[in-house]
DNA sequence: CTAAAATGTGAATAATTACTCATATTTTAT
DNA sequence: ATAAAATATGAGTAATTATTCACATTTTAG
C-alpha cells in the first residue's frame, strides 16, 4: 500500500537542516561568550559546543567576525523591539514622565541578555562595530522624542542634547550592570537617572 | 698623563644604561598603541621600535601585560597630578562652581594623552585592569568634594551619587573624544556636563 | 688588568587558532 | 533507483606571536 505523498512537501533540507545547524552555532556562540568570555571564544570551541563540525561553521559564517556580527545584530533587534514596546503606550506628556519612560525602556532592553550585551559591547575587539546596530537607532528614537517634547531645541543644540542623553543612559546602565547590580535591582538607578536627565532637560 | 678620577663616580650602568632601555621601551610601546592601535601592539614590534632586542624587553617586563600595566600606571599618575592641580585653588563654594571645576579638571586630565587613554581604556583586552588606577582615586576625590558640599547626603546616597557623577563625567568625555571632538574643542561639553550635574545635585 | 656582574642579543621554540579542502553523507527530484 | 545538489566532516595548514635561552658585550670594582 503506497503511502500518500505528504500534503506538505518534505521540508527542504536546504532550508531546515541547515537552519538547525545555524541556530545551534549561534546558540553555542552566545553560550561561550556569556559563560566563558571572549578569551575562550574560538571558532573550534563554538563548533564543538554546537555539536557541529568546524567545517560546517565556516559554511555559514565566512569568518569569526561574521559570527559575532550576526550575534550582535540579533541581540540588537531583540533589544530594540522591547524598547519600542515600552515606548508605544505614551499617554503622558510631561518631561519627567517621558524621561522616566525612556529610562525604563533602556533598562528593560538591557535586561534581554545582560551578560551577552556586556561581552559584545565591552570585551569583543572593535566593539564599536557591534554598537552600530544599537546606537544609531537609539539616537533616532531619542531625537524624535526630544523634538516632540522640547520644540525650543535648536538643531545644533539637538545633536548635543541627544548625545548627552544617549551616552549618559548607556554609560550608567552599563556601569550599574558591571559594578553595582544592586542599583538595578532596587530601581535606584531608574530613579536617579530619571532625576538626572529631567533636571537637565527642564532647564532647557 | 693619568686623568683624574672623575669627581662624580662613573654613573652606575645598572642604573643609567638600563633606565634608558626601559624608557625607550615605554616610549615605543606608547607610540605603537597610539599610532597603530592594540592590534599591532606586539612585543617584538615594541622592541624593534625601541631599538632594543626582544630579550631586553623581557628582562624588564616579565610579560606583555606588565608592559601595558606600567604604561597605564604612569599615564594615570600624570592624569591625577593634573587633576589635583586643577582642584587645588578652590575659592568658590557654590555647587555649580565646584562642579564646573571638577568637570574642567577631568577634561584637562583626559587631554594629557587622549589617544593613549582611549586605547588603554577601550581597546586593550581586560581594560578594567587598567582602569583600577584612575577610577578609585577619582571616586575618592569626588566623594570628599561631595561630602564637603552637600552634607545632607546620606552614606548610601553618597555611594550612588558618586557613582552617577563619576560615570557620567567619564562616559561623556570618552564619548566626545571618540565621536564628537568638536564638543570638546568648543567647550560645549564642559558647559553641558556642568549644567547636567549641577541641575542634578542642586535638587538633592 | 681582570673577573664577576650587569646588560644586551636574536634565532629558535612552542602554543594557539582561524581557516581550508578533499572527502563522506544525506536529501531531493525525476 | 539514481544522479545531482546540499550539507557535513575533521585532520591538516599556515600564520601569528609571546616567550626563552645560550651566548656576546659592556661595565664595575678591586
Nearest to B127 by CA among B70, B68, B167: B68
Rounded CA-CA distance A84/A86 in Å is 5
Nine-digit cell at B120?
588603554
Nearest residue to C8 via alpha carbon and C1': B56
pLDDT over 70 (residue B11): no
* Protein CA at A40 to nucleotide C1' at C28, angstroms: 39
Euclidean distance between the first and the last CA atom of chain A, given in angstroms as a whole number: 81
Query: Which pLDDT belongs to residue B100?
Result: 94
> Mean of the per-residue pLDDT values for chain B?
90
Instruction: Report the gap between the CA of A13 and the closest CA in chain B (Å).
Output: 41
Percent with pLDDT over 90 in chain B? 71
Nearest CA in chain A to B186: A160
* Protein CA at B50 to nucleotide C1' at C22, angstroms: 46
Chain D bases having any atom below 7 Å from a protein CB: 6-12, 16-22, 26-29
Which helix (H) or strand (E) segment holds residue B102: the answer is: helix B95-110
Res. A176 pLDDT band, cuts 50 70 90: very high
Query: Which pLDDT belongs to residue B74?
Result: 97
Rounded CA-CA distance B171/B161 in Å is 15
Q: Same CATH topology for A12-62 and A72-202?
A: no
Q: Do the Cβ atoms of A200 and B199 come within 8 Å?
A: yes
- Nucleotide of closest approach to A58 (CA, C1'): C19
Residue B41: list chain A partners with CB under 8 A.
none
Euclidean distance between the first and the last CA atom of chain B, given in angstroms as a whole number: 81
Q: Average pLDDT, stretch B160-165?
A: 96
- Nucleotide of closest approach to B9 (CA, C1'): D28
Q: Do the Cβ atoms of A160 and B188 come within 8 Å?
A: yes
pLDDT over 90 (residue A57): yes
pLDDT over 50 (residue A6): no
Rounded CA-CA distance A173/A189 in Å is 8
Pure H helices in A15-113:
16-36, 43-50, 54-60, 64-88, 95-110
* Protein CA at A60 to nucleotide C1' at D1, angstroms: 32
Lowest pLDDT segment from A51-55, A148-152, B60-64: A148-152
Q: Mind listing the pLDDT tens digit for each residue in A14-35?
A: 678 999 999 999 999 999 999 9
3-state DSSP assignment of residue A87: helix
Query: Any idea where the domains of chain B sit in the sequence?
Result: 8-62, 71-202
CB B173 within 8 A of CB B106: yes
**CATH 2.40.160 given to domain A72-202:** no
Percent with pLDDT over 70 in chain B? 91
* Protein CA at B63 to nucleotide C1' at C8, angstroms: 18
Could you please state the CATH topology (level 3) that the domain comprising A12-62 is classified under.
Arc Repressor Mutant, subunit A (1.10.10)
Res. B91 pLDDT band, cuts 50 70 90: low
Instruction: Report the gap between the CA of A125 and the closest CA in chain B (Å).
Output: 7
CB B200 within 8 A of CB A199: yes
The class that CATH gives domain B71-202 is mainly alpha
pLDDT over 50 (residue B6): no
Q: Do the Cβ atoms of B163 and A170 come within 8 Å?
A: no
Nearest to A61 by CA among A87, A112, A108, A24: A24
Higher pLDDT, B144 or B70: B70
Q: Average pLDDT, stretch B153-172?
A: 92
Query: Which pLDDT belongs to residue A166?
Result: 96
Query: Which pLDDT belongs to residue A150?
Result: 73
Residues 6+ apart with CB under 8 A from A180: A189, B160, B163
pLDDT over 70 (residue A7): no
Domain B8-62: which CATH number of 3.40.640.10, 3.20.19.10, 1.20.1300.10, 1.10.10.60: 1.10.10.60
ipTM surpassing 0.95, yes or no? no
Chain C bases having any atom below 7 Å from a protein CB: 6-12, 16-22, 26-29
Query: Which pLDDT belongs to residue B4?
Result: 41
Q: How many CB atoms lie within 10 A of CB A10?
A: 8
Nine-digit cell at A11?
521540508
Q: Mind listing the pLDDT tens digit for each residue in A70-123?
A: 999 999 999 999 999 998 876 667 889 999 999 999 999 999 999 999 999 999
Query: Which pLDDT belongs to residue A136?
Result: 85
Amino acid at each position: 500500500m503506497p503511502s500518500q505523498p505528504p500534503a506538505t512537501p518534505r521540508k527542504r533540507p536546504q532550508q531546515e537542516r541547515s537552519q538547525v545547524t545555524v541556530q545551534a552555532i549561534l546558540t553555542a556562540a552566545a553560550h561561550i561568550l556569556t559563560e566563558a568570555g571572549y578569551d575562550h571564544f574560538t571558532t573550534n570551541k563554538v563548533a564543538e559546543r554546537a555539536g557541529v563540525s568546524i567545517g560546517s561553521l565556516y559554511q555559514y559564517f565566512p569568518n569569526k567576525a561574521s559570527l559575532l556580527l550576526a550575534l550582535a545584530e540579533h541581540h540588537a533587534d531583540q533589544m530594540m523591539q522591547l524598547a519600542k514596546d515600552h515606548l508605544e503606550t505614551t499617554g503622558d506628556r510631561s518631561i519627567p514622565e517621558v524621561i522616566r519612560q525612556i529610562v525604563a525602556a533602556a533598562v528593560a532592553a538591557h535586561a534581554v541578555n545582560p551578560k551577552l550585551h556586556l561581552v559584545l559591547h565591552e570585551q569583543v575587539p572593535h566593539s564599536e562595530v557591534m554598537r552600530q546596530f544599537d546606537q544609531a537607532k537609539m539616537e533616532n528614537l531619542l531625537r524624535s522624542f526630544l523634538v516632540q517634547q522640547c520644540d525650543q531645541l535648536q538643531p545644533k543644540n539637538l545633536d548635543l542634547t541627544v548625545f548627552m542623553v544617549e551616552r549618559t543612559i548607556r554609560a550608567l546602565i552599563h556601569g550599574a550592570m558591571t559594578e553595582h547590580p544592586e542599583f538595578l535591582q532596587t530601581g535606584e538607578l531608574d530613579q536617579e537617572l530619571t532625576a538626572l536627565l529631567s533636571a537637565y532637560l527642564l532647564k532647557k
